[in-house]
Amino acid sequence: MSTVLNFNDEYSDFDPFSMAFRNNPHAYYDDLLQNSPGFMLLEGIPSAYVARHDQVLAVLRDPAKFSSLKPKNLPGMERVDFFNSKPVMNYSDPPEHGRLRKVTQPVFTPRRMQEASTEMARMITEILDGVGQGETIEVVSAITKKLAVELLLTHFLGVEEKDQHIFFNYVKTLSSLDKMRPGDPKPKEFLDAWDEGTAYCREALKRAAQEQSDNAIGLIYQAMQGDVLSDDEVMAMMITLLIGGVSTMASSATSALYHMAANPELAQRIRKDPALAKIQCEEAFRYDPPVTLVMRFAMEDVEIGGKLIRKGMPVYTMIAVANRDPAVFPEPDRFSLDRENMRQLSFGFGIHNCIGNAITRATVPLLVVEVANRYPNLSIDPTRGIDWETSPRSRHIGAMTLRT
Ligand code: HEM
């Protein structure tokens, strides 16, 4: 067992938001799994984490005992207040959660994904036609982010290229929240970007009224007319969809390509049997989950793993650690296409399971097969390699240079 953390007292010195953990998370996994659930004082607040796969499932499957509603004024939450304290489905409980989720669910059904698959294949072909064999490319900007933006922003949500900078800018300002201390006012750059985003959304809704579109914005407009959504909820939902999927989809696609470039045998197997691309992607989701933790709040005293999580405690639900739990994934640090158990938790679980999981699972394997076939000599550029980016609840490849 490693000895990164001190668990001698009632409270350990684990801080899931610390840079030490974010920069080198895997060094902590043994300790976290061994001692889960564990307890810590964060900003003076007694808090818990769960890391074992079965314990993470127990928390996420029980919204009555573990709420997603963030308590107001809880120190530390200002750093993850990505939606400007507005009501969003991610941070809501039944019955409000069901009411919000129902509005846009029809856009993301597997049937819709099936219908969109021709369009996805066309986008992938077009992007890869711009990348020849033998080139050196930065994959996130040249391929994976481009695909996520085109598919989600342009195709599913109808945001024209000229307006997309509004949402990129908003995402950029989220890192300013990371520096906030309890009681600090929200950074001006964040509030300005939020205002710009909401102004765009207002105009988009006006257009949806005229066009009677059935894309996500059209559905939100209809819900607004039926008084299903309040004004605040409309803006927050649009921004959730507009920003929630782009970097997550891009980074999981980047990770799937990374493992193929790092291990040419994987690419070879996928070329022979393209059905393996889906497994390559599930394993990439498991191995490098873009969302590393989700938060819940204990609504009553609950026993988990023989320990008591007290009513009111924030519970850090460590998805990325659970994905490496050896009780479920033997040799968890090995990237393998031969796992029997694919129950990775990267898209969450239970009522909040990711609304974008079908679109991600439909698109990324198509990209993987196409890249495997087009670039048989794919490798990581040893001079530039890869850069990881972290935020309080995510960790992903921000840039990766490959030789095609
Ligand atoms: C690899 C890509 C993605 C990953 C890893 C991911 C991860 C997650 C996770 C872990 C949750 C659960 C949050 C919780 O339980 O508190 C979630 C929920 C959600 N995701 Fe994703 N996501 C991805 C792609 C997308 C895409 C493409 C979209 C939108 C188009 C999206 C929109 C959402 C929304 C709206 C929710 C909230 C669902 C609810 O609360 O009912 N995600 N996602």
Q: Give the separation between CA 378 and CA 76, rounded to whole angstroms.
A: 42
Give the start-end residues of each E strand in 250-404. 294-298, 302-304, 307-309, 314-317, 379-380, 386-391, 394-403
CB of 193 closer than 8 Å to CB of 169: yes
Between β-strands 45-50 and 38-42, what pairing exists: parallel, antiparallel or unpaired? antiparallel
Q: Give the separation between CA 202 and CA 208, rounded to whole angstroms.
A: 10
Average pLDDT of adjacent 10-residue blocks, the chain of 404 residues: 73 93 95 97 93 98 96 80 85 94 83 84 97 97 96 86 90 86 88 90 84 79 80 79 87 97 97 98 97 97 97 97 97 96 95 94 96 97 90 91 96
Is position 12 within any domain?
A: no
Residue nearest to ligand 1 atom 40, measured at CA: 90
Task: Give the residues surrounding ligand 1 with Cβ less than 6 Å away.
Answer: 68, 89-90, 101, 152, 240-241, 244-245, 248-249, 252, 289-291, 294, 346-348, 352, 354-356, 359-360
Calculate the CA 383 to chain-centre distance.
29
**Would you report the helix, strand and coil content of the chain in percent, each value rounded to 5?**
50, 15, 35
Is position 6 within any domain?
A: no
**In this structure, which amino acid lies at residue 361?**
R
The structure's pTM equals 0.92
Domains identified in the chain, total number: 1
Atom of ligand 1 nearest to the CA of 216: 30
- The neighbour count for residue 2, using CB atoms within 10 Å, is 12
Residue nearest to ligand 1 atom 38, measured at CA: 352
Q: How many angstroms does the Cα of residue 297 sit away from the middle of ligand 1?
A: 19
Mutation test residue for ligand 1: of 91, 344, 355, the one with most atoms within 8 Å of CB: 355
Q: Where are the alpha helices (DSSP H) in 24-151?
A: 29-35, 53-60, 96-104, 110-129, 139, 145-148
Atom of ligand 1 nearest to the CA of 359: 27
Q: How many angstroms does the Cα of residue 1 sit away from the middle of ligand 1?
A: 33
Q: Spell out a b/e string for 13-43, using b for 16 or more CB atoms within 10 Å of the CB, else e.
A: ebbbbeeebbeebeebbbbbbebbbbbbebe
Calculate the CA 20 to chain-centre distance.
21
Is position 142 within any domain?
A: yes
CB of 65 closer than 8 Å to CB of 299: yes
Strands, sheet with 294-298, edge to edge from the N-terminal-most edge strand: 38-42, 45-50, 314-317, 294-298, 66-67
The answer for 66, left when phi > 0, alpha when psi is -120 to 50, beta otherwise, is beta
Is position 8 within any domain?
A: no
Matching residue, tokens 């309890």 = 182
* Predicted pLDDT of residue 2: 61
CATH of the domain at 305: 1.10.630.10
* Predicted pLDDT of residue 4: 79
Using one digit for the tens of pLDDT, what is the confidence trace for 139-153? 999 999 999 999 988
C-alpha torsion sign, points 8, 10, 13, 17:
positive
Is position 3 within any domain?
A: no
Please provide the average confidence, as pLDDT, over all residues in the chain: 91
Contacts of 154 (CB under 8 A, 6+ apart): 160, 161, 164
* Predicted pLDDT of residue 211: 82
* Predicted pLDDT of residue 387: 94
Q: How many angstroms does the Cα of residue 107 sit away from the middle of ligand 1?
A: 14
* Predicted pLDDT of residue 212: 77
Q: Give the separation between CA 212 and CA 102, rounded to whole angstroms.
A: 19
Q: Give the separation between CA 86 and CA 33, rounded to whole angstroms.
A: 34
Q: How many angstroms does the Cα of residue 227 sit away from the middle of ligand 1?
A: 25
| CA dist 6 → 32, 62, 137, 189, 397 (Å) | 11, 30, 43, 38, 30
Which residues form the domain of 199? 19-403
Q: Count Cα neighbours of 251 within 13 Å in the Cβ-side half-sphere.
A: 24
